[in-house]
Structures are given as structure tokens and as C-alpha cells.
Chain A
Amino acid sequence: MSLRIVVCVKYVPDATGDRKFADDLTVDRDDVDGLLSELDEYAVEQALQIAEEADDAEVTVLTVGPEDAKDALRKALSMGADKAVHVEDDDLHGSDVMATSLVLAKAIEKTGYDVVIAGMASTDGTMGVLPAILAERLGVPQVTLLSEVKIEDGKVTGRRDGDSASEQLEASLPAVVSVTDQSGEARYPSFKGIMAAKKKPVESLELDDLDIDADEVGLEGSWTAVDSAAERPARTAGTIVKDEGEGGKQLAEYLASQKFI
């Protein structure tokens, strides 16, 4: 029996660009190049490693996003994923995490899965709650924030390094897994991989295909509303001194003046 792995990925604005909000207070996607969220590359990598260990496995990458989001899917396919699912619908614009997770959960169920793998957070919204929400929606165990993950004999095991302890976790499949940037360096797509990706199937789905009403998603249908977004005022230029032997003492003087000492 084949192991069906679905990897949820997100197309995000490049963090090194000048990210901002559009007039409707959604993320402005026009002025900054998008890419596969860096933290999702770790999820793709772990999915590929798990697939390589399994006798028979299939890795499907899934995203919800506009036309451009295909770029994120192509990257994952060129790394080695087998196929892709793209949920694209004008009514999705402005969906928050609850709305997006609803779409992802329905698409995952439609695709069929034994394990869902996600990154620890997106690099734009950075909430870090999507994997737990998906587990709740799908009614399966969550095995999240793993720095090490293994799938064997219908079980997923892994290590979760928390603030106060490091835990070993175990759950039966099906399950939702998320991995951190400590799980292992993501591979670069090879030239062969990039060429092969062009021929791999990308399935397109709309809300109708998933039996989701337009009023459950998008800006209006979301569970949260952003009322304002203001650019942080530029910091007033600080004092900068060159160390000529007394830099540490000068800094101590500053810290004392600010009552930190």
C-alpha cells in the first residue's frame, strides 16, 4: 500500500523585499517577488526523505493561492515531489488562517492522504498555527514542531524541542506533521529536477470542486478583520560612536543614563 504524503506549501512575498499591505489591508503581492516560503522547503525535504525510505510513496504538494503561487509548486516539484494540487479562486482573496485551513483540509481529504507535512510557520503571517488547525479539522493526531521525524510501520515518531523540554512523540497514521528549520537542510533542485518538474501534473481546483461556499472564505468570509496597518515610523537616528579604547565604558555610561545599570 502506497504511502500518500501531502505537503502544504505557501507562496509568500520575499522577506528581503519591501513588503507592505495593499489598500484592502491584505498582503501586497504586486510590488515584491513571491517565492516558496523558506520554512516550507524543510517540509518538502522531509517528505522526500520519508518517501525515499518507504517502499512505495507518493508526494503531493498542495497550495492555496493566486496564479503566481504555481511558482511555489514548481519549486517543490523540481526538488522531487511527484505531483501538485493548486486551489485557485478569485473568491479566496484575503482569506485568513481559518478560511485557508478550511480550503486546505477539504483539498487534503479530496486528494487522499496518510500524512500531511507542513513547515513550522509561514514567513509572511508567521502565525505557526496552521498545522494544529489542520489536525483539528481533519480529526487526526498532530505531531508538530519536529526537529527529527520518521515514519515506519504506520507510525510517525519525532523529536519536539520545546522551551522547557525535549520530547519524543509518537502517533499512528493518518497524522499532521510539522517540521522546524532544524529538521535538515533542504536540497537544491537539480537541472534534471527542474526539467522533470515541467512535465509533472498540476491539478487545479476551485471552491466549487471542494463544496465550499464563497461566503466562507475571502476577505468578507474570514474569521478575523484587519482594521488598520501602519508603517512603523523610522527610528530616530541613534548615537553611534567609534571605539577608540573607551567604547565599552561609553556604552556603560549610556546604559546607566537609561537606568539599565
Chain B
Amino acid sequence: MAEILVYVDHVDGAVRKPTLELLTLARRLGDPVAVALGNGAADTAAALAEHGAVKVLTADAPEFAEYLVVPKVDALQAAYEAVSPAAVLVPSSAEGKEIAARLAVRIGSGIITDAVDLEAGDEGPVATQAAFAASFTTKSRVSKGTPVITVKPNSAPVEAAPAAGAVEALAVSFGPLATGTKVTARTPRESTGRPELTEAAIVVSGGRGVNGAENFAIIEALADSLGAAVGASRAAVDAGWYPHANQVGQTGKSVSPQLYIASGISGAIQHRAGMQTSKTIVAINKDAEAPIFDLVDYGVVGDLFDVVPQLTAEVQARKG
């Protein structure tokens, strides 16, 4: 069976959920061979084997942390040459997309980004994507070279499928470009204890109607009652009420959770581009004419300062 290279996104050995989702998709195409790089790479093996990796190629070197992107491309290319896979799958993070893009150039292949589904086809993997703010669904394939495809979080279920997961050290020699962009300082983002926005099953977002940074506490309280991530519209971010890292929309994050709750968000195209593929959409807005209500499965026309705290209290009561 063909081997499928899967790039592993992990934090010091802890595999992030989108990679486990990738393994589910990779198994539809062939035998997943995982590539884990950097600090704790070998520690990823157990989780990857549990989810279907037949092999785990690992490499660690200071270059992975000290320079931007290219050392990882060198390593992924080494894995590609060692395995000769039928496809290369990479999580659709900002860094993942850049790694995939540079690899695609090197191996003379086409690239598809932000796939939301993947199937085996007669001419190689067929990727489903959402286009034009998710108003269209397209099916595409790579027509030259070995398909390189990045996949959005929440595109497939995480499924246990135990496999050998034999760990092998990957030999990597860094090219002249590897040390081109130096990371001179790194400040880790403070953890909020909430799920990662793009990976969360539930996202609670606030917009212009939240009317002030201090009022985001209401949105956060609802998010915490549901175990959700917090998002914000561009208007709220531009006003300085919430960090840009939490922005949902065209110029922020694109999310696809099971449940999306928009509070005080009108639903401009900018925002819709980032959340329209959510499975269930709920909105709370004072303005009955807000375009967000065209998208919702359930909408409440009302003041978020009344509705959201009442909802939070009710969720807490029901959860006991």
C-alpha cells in the first residue's frame, strides 16, 4: 500500500489534535508515515501509533527552534526522499502552510491548502475546499508531482486505529537557506486555559455589540461554562477590546467548530469568511435585520447583556 507522509504538529512531544485528524484522512489514502521534528519529537510516537502511524520518523536539532521554517522543510524533504510517498499531508496552521508550500516547490508538486475533506480518487487524492467565504464548495486535485495538501482543523474525526508506529531517526542535512531567517527572541503566548481557537468544538465570539474590553468577561464566562474557545470579530479587535490572535474572519482565524455562538456580531462578509463552515450557528443580536441571522440555526433577537449571562447561568445550572 502507498505510504502517506503526515507532518506532525506537536508541542514538546504532545501531539496536537489536527495531526490526529490528519491520520484519519491519511488512512483513507494509504499507510501513514509520520514526521515529527524538534524538541520531544520521539515522545509523539505512542499517540501517533495509537492513531494509525505505521512509522514515525523523528529528528531534533537546535536549528528547528533557532531559524524560521526552512530547517523543517529540509527535514520534511529528507523524509519525502526516504519514503517516496503518494501524498504529503500537513496541518493548515500558518507555519504548516509555509512548510508545505516550500516543500511543494522543491519537489515540483502542486499544493492545495485548507482542505476540509479528503478522499481517494482515480487520479490521486481529491480535496474538498470552501471558497469565497464558504459560499462555494470545490473539489480539486494536484495534477503535477506528489500531492502536497494542507488540511484545516476539525476536518475529520480523531479515530483510534493502532498501528506499529516504529520510531526511526531521520537523517537531515541542512541546506544553505536553513539559517537564513534567525529567530532572535520568542515570547510564548500566555495560556488562557481555554481550548485553541481553531481546534475548539465550541467557539463563543463577541463583536461590536460587546462594547468594551471589560465586557468581554461576559463572553468569556459563557465560553468557560461550555468549555469553549473565545473569538472576536474584526471590529472588536480593531477597537482593541480583544487580542488579534482571537480574531475570527478573513484576516484572522478560520474556524469550523461543532457550535459557533456569535454575540453582538452583525455578520459582515469579513466575519462570515471565517466561520460560515461551522456546523451549528447561533447568534444573539439586538438588530433583527443583522445579516448574521441569515446564517443561523437558532437566533435570539435581544440585548446580549441580558441574554448571554442568563444563558451562562442556565448552562451552569444544567451542568450542575
Contacts and interface: CB of A to CB of B under 8 A. Distances in A.
A232 B136 contact: yes
Interface stretch (B52-60, B79-87, B164-172, B177-185): B177-185
A167 B95 contact: no
Interface stretch (B19-27, B37-45, B108-116): B108-116
Contacts of B2: none
Interface in B93-141: 93-95, 97-98, 100-102, 104-106, 109-114, 126, 130-141
A21 interface: yes
Interface stretch (B28-36, B154-162, B308-316): B308-316
A251 B295 CA distance: 16
A145 B288 CA distance: 37
A261 B226 contact: yes
Interface in B296-310: 296-303, 306-310
A242 B310 contact: no
B105 A123 contact: no
B302 A128 contact: no
A165 B182 CA distance: 15
Given A163-B94, A170-B181, A254 B298 contact: yes
- The B interface is mostly helix, strand or loop, or mixed, namely mixed
B143 A169 contact: no
Contact of B104 (A98, A123, A222, A227): A98
A19 interface: yes
Contacts of B140: 224-227
A260 B259 contact: yes
Nearest to A166: B187
B297 A238 contact: yes
Interface stretch (A3-11, A130-138, A190-198, A205-213): A130-138
**Which size bracket describes the interface of B in this complex?**
35 or more
Contacts of A60: none
Contacts of A124: 132
Contact of A98 (B111, B130, B297): B111
Contact of B111 (A97, A228, A231): A97
A182 interface: yes
B273 A15 contact: yes
B132 A19 contact: yes
- Interface size of A as a range: 35 or more
A174 to B, nearest CB: 10
Given A127-B113, A141-B180, A247 B310 contact: yes
B276 to A, nearest CB: 8
A8 B238 CA distance: 25
A144 B69 CA distance: 10
Contacts of B104: 98, 133, 223
A5 B303 CA distance: 50
A20 B145 CA distance: 28
A235 B314 CA distance: 28
9 closest Cβ pairs, A-B complex? A243-B302, A248-B310, A223-B110, A141-B180, A252-B314, A129-B101, A248-B311, A132-B98, A168-B185
Given A20-B136, A96-B110, A224-B110, 18 more contacts: A15-B269, A19-B133, A38-B251, A126-B250, A126-B273, A128-B94, A128-B97, A140-B180, A145-B94, A167-B68, A167-B186, A181-B251, A222-B144, A224-B111, A227-B141, A241-B301, A248-B300, A249-B310
10 contacts: A175-B180, A180-B251, A223-B111, A224-B111, A231-B136, A232-B130, A235-B281, A246-B310, A248-B311, A249-B311
Interface of B: 11, 68-70, 73, 93-95, 97-98, 100-102, 104-106, 109-114, 126, 130-145, 177, 180-189, 196, 198, 202, 226, 244-245, 250-251, 258-259, 269-270, 273, 280-282, 284, 288, 293-303, 306-315, 318-319
